[in-house]
Structure 1
Amino acid sequence: MATIQQINGDYYGSKETLTEALPLIKKKDIYSASINNFFGIADKELSIYTDAIYYYEQALKDCSDPVSKLGALNNIAVVYILQKKYDKAISLLERIIHTKTLDNKFLKSNKARVLDNLGYAYFKKGLNKKGLLLMNEGYKMREQNEDLYGSIESNLHLAEYYSNTEPENSNQYAESAYQIATKFNSIDERLKALSFIISNDSGTKTGEYAQKYVFLNDSIIKIRNNYKNKFAKIKYDSKKEKDENQKLRLEKAEDSLALQKAEYQRIFLTIGIASLFCLIAYLIKRHQNKTRLVEFKTAYATETRIAKDIHDELANDVFHAITYTQTQPLTSENSKETLLQKLNHIYSRVRGISRENSNVDTGSNYSVNLKEMLSTYNSSITNVIITNIEKVNWDSIEYEKKVTIYRVLQELMVNMKKHSEARLVVIKFDSKLNSVIIDYTDNGKGCDKSKIIKNGLQNMENRILATKGTITFDTQPDKGFKAKITLPK
């Protein structure tokens, strides 16, 4: 599923699906290597280069055969080139090209790719002659192997090489890349090839190519957005069908059990036992009514919170986006880009509200999910540091307390994001014999202790007290905010 999403350009959705696959991994093997490799691809395409290298290195550790290891090393080198760390890329690719593994006749396409990347790295470093020699060697090898798809990258690299010195040569390679990419319906490569042709200003056809570029760029944005919505609906419908089937099986099992009970009752039960069952049924009904009332109150509280979040966080943004479309000329590229940024910001807000109100997984993957939730508040402004979370034996902690910890920390992070303006947040976990201790510290603007209830922290205290725990706050204006949570195991 994650592969399909990446093919269609949905890299954030792909990472979510890959995260769902992680709990299914029982050992380090080709599957864990594949998952880490796809994480690396997604982060590379999203220009999150540090994370991409991390995941490629994890994939490298899980690879068991030399060919897979070479693929992971090549991917790391490609990211180094994107980071302009050409010396690192060259050193790594030189090491790959001199391995005996690439001498295998069945790995010529791999060798051609490494040669092309090595030549491109030399070219980007300024060693043009050596770079051109290697890129041409990789290109010829790809032609001999009839590796059409791989030759797209070679053509694009050569088009870039000649773009500043020999525009005609650059156009020839760019047009070749465009034709092959069109054959394979590879939109991103077509756009890159068109950008070279347009920048070279080849003449009368420049306007035609520019129109193609605009058309392709607009089309791919619409198609990928539609695909994301379609994929989300498919996943939702699939889960709904699965839940309904499971419910049907349970109902059938319950019906079968009820028939058996009825059969035994007709044989063995007396009028007195029947009366007892009536009493039990009454008590069960009463308990169910009480449970439904609690569930209703919980649902009402959740709906109220969501409604407040939507009103406070989204209403103004949506209004500004609507006003922008009514007052700005959307034919302008700058206007389109600004509108897309506004819509993407709104989309991120909606995702955040959804995440804050989703169910908490308290199973074996609890600590991973908790750490991931806290890490989502990392940003270019705020650095979140999480320590010693692995030292806590989460399996020994009750379900309700895990949910309480998750929600209280989530509320602390939301409160920090809305009010604190903190640049650094540190969350430290500690496990004693009979208790779990969590220390939260940030260097934000703090507040007056008397106004803590107004900032929504009273709700956290109520949650902790309900599980027989304690929470204390320490804050002063312009001196940060601290909280200490202690929960019995």
Structure 2
Amino acid sequence: MGVLRHIVFVFLLSAPLLNAQNTKVLQQIESVKSSIYKIPSRDSVAIAETHYKIGELYRKSLFSDSALVYFQKAEKVFRAYNLTYNVAITMYGIAVCQTYHKDYTGSESTSIEVLTLLNTLNETNNVKQYKAYTYNNLGVVFDELDQFDQAIKYYQTSLNLKKELNGDYQRSIGLTLNNMLKVYRRAGKFNMAIKTYNEIYNDKNLIRKYPDVYGLALGNYAKTLHLSKKYEELPGLYLKALRIFDSINSPYNSIIIQQHLAEFYNDINKKDSARYYAYQAKDLSELYNNDDLLKSLFIIANIEEGETANKYLNAYIKLSDSLHKIERFNRDKLARIRFETDEIEKENAQKEKEVKLLFIISIIVITISILLYLFLTMREKNKILQFKQSQQESNEEIYNLMLSQNESIEEARAQEKTRISQELHDGVLGRLFGTRLSLDSLNMNTSTEAVKAREQYINELKDIEHDIRKVSHELNTDFVSGSGFIDIIKTLVETQTLSYNLQYMFNPDDSINWDIISNKTKIHIYRIIQEALHNIHKHANASFVKISFKLKKDVICIAITDNGFGFDVSKTKSGIGLKNINSRVKEINGQLKITSQKKEGTTLLLEAPMT
């Protein structure tokens, strides 16, 4: 029962034994896995290439389940990017995993797909290499299916391709020759088997560099001699093969040699030697491979007799049934892995579509929002611009009306002055001139008093005449020419200060030529003075204001000073009035400076360029 429990425990293990070599490979795998996190997530191809490397490491360590998972991850990405060569070599890895799990039908189908993909590519050295590997795998598949002629055909194709490759493929060629030797031996074509062995044996460089390949070939050759009942070199060849594997520390390869030795000694009726090698093979098989263990149990059952034979025969049957179940489970698992991988890929593809759709919708919403914001902003700016234009037009219209009104006033003044001048000249002056002539005619009186009186009156009339002429001349002169804007400002100051109960002083500068200054600048100056007077009335509680104009280097300097409360300029927030003033100053490219002290009043200094 202890032996059976040990056997059951061994055959239930689906993964290979973790020997030192596999441990090293697993460390390499972990190192490669960690490198994935260094690859940018958007570089899908680089991640797929890393998955392929991990799958290869698992496959070569006989961890085919894990290998298949990574191969399929890589395959999906390679297909998505139409990387035919990468798809082909990844599918080759999958085919080998299927062969390991005895899914021969699946492996054949996958291998044919690999060859179909490779045939679409230019026949480079790498393409020919994987064609050779794939044909070799097909040979293994048909060998296991006992279709020996087909297996030999594929092995021969693989061998021919390998011999055409550039590079060192000597070991690979030797392994394919050994596979052919084994098929010829199993098919009963002993002469072809011996001929194939001689091809290996004559390659001394192969034997020297790769003794493991020679050991496998030697075992198959010895088995061929055994089956053809040529015992002259036996068991010497078997023992030589064992020594080779012992020398290179390859106990796994020695299992098949010990099984062959057990069968040979049993055939020549040397039971003790047969038992020795049969049990040696069984013990090693328990550490490595369930198939080898199954065969070892069968050999022991044939060698032993009675209850012992029955015990091992029963163990063989149970293990065989269990292996069949495991094989079915593995085949189903491979299919399930492929199905689940496909499902995961479909889910990922669906999620990717959803993410893309969400991204597109987000972009559309953001774009629409930006466009809507820009539209509303532009509309608002247009409204502001239209309002400013309308305000500008209104200001100009007001100014033009004011100018027109002022012109009417000035015209009326001129007419009135002309009328008065004419009245003085034609009426009063004429009469006075007549009186002077009359008095002058009286000058004929020679009396001293009369002469003196007349002379006094005449001189007085001359003075009156002179004064009247002077008044007439002044009234007839257009003394307000060019001073229309200043009159408008003066009228504004008079009106506003009267309304606000303010005393004022107004000092214009006659050197400023207002005719060359734009209406826009005049309007803004008018509005700034108007707003300043309003602020003085509203906030300063002043009783006096002084407004003066100066021209300095083509810059009009306007100072508005009050005797009000004053304020702290650095702490006081700008109100609507001051904002309006600043806005107008900016419109005429001017500068504004405000100085103020509490209880000492405020001065607003505006500098406006003439052009």
Question: 1:33 is matched by which residue type in structure 2?
Answer: A
1:21 matches 2:114: yes
Q: Would you say the 8 A contact 1:195–1:213 is kept in 2? A: yes
CA distance in 2 between partners of 1:19 and 1:242 (Å):
24
Q: Would you say the 8 A contact 1:67–1:101 is kept in 2? A: no
Gaps of 5+ in 1: 269-489
SS at match of 2:314: helix
Q: Would you say the 8 A contact 1:120–1:131 is kept in 2? A: no
SS at match of 1:223: helix
Q: 1:203 to 1:144 in 2, by over 3 A?
A: farther
Q: Would you say the 8 A contact 2:178–2:213 is kept in 1? A: no
Give the percent of matched residue pairs that are identical in Structure 1 and Structure 2: 25
Q: Which residue of 2 aligns with 1:197?
A: 300
Question: 1:118 is matched by which residue type in structure 2?
Answer: Y
Equivalent of 1:52 in 139, 143, 151: 151
Q: Which residue of 1 aligns with 2:137?
A: 38
CA distance in 2 between partners of 1:148 and 1:137 (Å):
14
Question: 1:195 is matched by which residue type in structure 2?
Answer: F
Q: Which residue of 2 aligns with 1:11?
A: 104
Q: Which residue of 1 aligns with 2:190?
A: 86
Question: 2:135 is matched by which residue type in structure 1?
Answer: N
Q: Which residue of 1 aligns with 2:588?
A: none
Q: CA deviation at 1:66?
A: 2.0
Residues 200-215 of structure 1 mapped to structure 2, 5 A cutoff: 200-215=303-318
CA distance in 2 between partners of 1:173 and 1:14 (Å):
34
Write the deviation string for residues 36-75 of structure 1: whole angstroms up to 9, x where unpaired: 2222111111112122112212221332322211111111
Q: CA deviation at 1:130?
A: 2.1
Q: CA deviation at 1:197?
A: 1.6
Write the deviation string for residues 197-221 of structure 1: whole angstroms up to 9, x where unpaired: 2122345422221221111011111
Question: 2:203 is matched by which residue type in structure 1?
Answer: T
CA distance in 2 between partners of 1:54 and 1:131 (Å):
31
Larger CA Rg, structure 1 vs 2:
2
Q: Which residue of 1 aligns with 2:521?
A: none
CA distance in 1 between partners of 2:353 and 2:263 (Å):
63
Q: Would you say the 8 A contact 2:201–2:207 is kept in 1? A: no
Q: 1:122 to 1:215 in 2, by over 3 A?
A: same
Q: Which residue of 2 aligns with 1:341?
A: none
Q: CA deviation at 1:260?
A: 5.6
Q: CA deviation at 1:264?
A: 7.6
Write the deviation string for residues 134-175 of structure 1: whole angstroms up to 9, x where unpaired: 222112212222211110110111122122222332222111
Write the deviation string for residues 64-107 of structure 1: whole angstroms up to 9, x where unpaired: 32221111111111100011000000011012111122242x41
CA distance in 1 between partners of 2:283 and 2:214 (Å):
24
SS at match of 1:163: helix
Equivalent of 1:110 in 194, 209, 213: 213
1:98 matches 2:202: yes
Q: Would you say the 8 A contact 2:181–2:217 is kept in 1? A: no
SS at match of 1:221: helix
Q: Which residue of 1 aligns with 2:161?
A: 62
Q: Which residue of 2 aligns with 1:178?
A: 282
Q: 1:202 to 1:252 in 2, by over 3 A?
A: same
CA distance in 2 between partners of 1:98 and 1:247 (Å):
60
Q: Would you say the 8 A contact 1:155–1:174 is kept in 2? A: yes
CA distance in 1 between partners of 2:156 and 2:251 (Å):
29
Residues 400-439 of structure 1 mapped to structure 2, 5 A cutoff: none
Residues 46-445 of structure 1 mapped to structure 2, 5 A cutoff: 46-63=145-162, 64=165, 65-104=169-208, 106-165=209-268, 166-184=270-288, 186-257=289-360
Write the deviation string for residues 446-478 of structure 1: whole angstroms up to 9, x where unpaired: xxxxxxxxxxxxxxxxxxxxxxxxxxxxxxxxx
Q: Would you say the 8 A contact 1:117–1:135 is kept in 2? A: no
Q: Would you say the 8 A contact 1:163–1:196 is kept in 2? A: no
Q: Would you say the 8 A contact 1:170–1:196 is kept in 2? A: no
Aligned length: 266
Q: 1:202 to 1:85 in 2, by over 3 A?
A: same
> TM-score when scaled to structure 1?
0.50
Point out the more displaced range, 157-166 or 70-79: 157-166
Q: Would you say the 8 A contact 1:171–1:202 is kept in 2? A: no
Q: 1:89 to 1:131 in 2, by over 3 A?
A: farther
Q: CA deviation at 1:126?
A: 1.9
Q: CA deviation at 1:239?
A: 0.8
Q: Would you say the 8 A contact 2:184–2:193 is kept in 1? A: yes
Q: 1:264 to 1:190 in 2, by over 3 A?
A: closer
RMSD: 2.4
CA distance in 2 between partners of 1:36 and 1:155 (Å):
30
CA distance in 1 between partners of 2:116 and 2:347 (Å):
24
Question: 2:336 is matched by which residue type in structure 1?
Answer: K
RCO higher in structure (CA 8 A, sep ≥6) = 2
Q: 1:139 to 1:117 in 2, by over 3 A?
A: same
CA distance in 2 between partners of 1:239 and 1:163 (Å):
52
Q: CA deviation at 1:15?
A: 2.3
Gaps of 5+ in 2: 1-93, 373-611
Q: Would you say the 8 A contact 1:156–1:193 is kept in 2? A: yes
Q: CA deviation at 1:235?
A: 0.7
Write the deviation string for residues 333-369 of structure 1: whole angstroms up to 9, x where unpaired: xxxxxxxxxxxxxxxxxxxxxxxxxxxxxxxxxxxxx
Question: 2:107 is matched by which residue type in structure 1?
Answer: S
Q: CA deviation at 1:180?
A: 0.6
Over 6 Å off, 4+ runs? 261-268
> TM-score when scaled to structure 2?
0.41
SS at match of 1:80: helix
Q: Would you say the 8 A contact 1:123–1:130 is kept in 2? A: no
CA distance in 1 between partners of 2:296 and 2:351 (Å):
54
Question: 2:213 is matched by which residue type in structure 1?
Answer: N
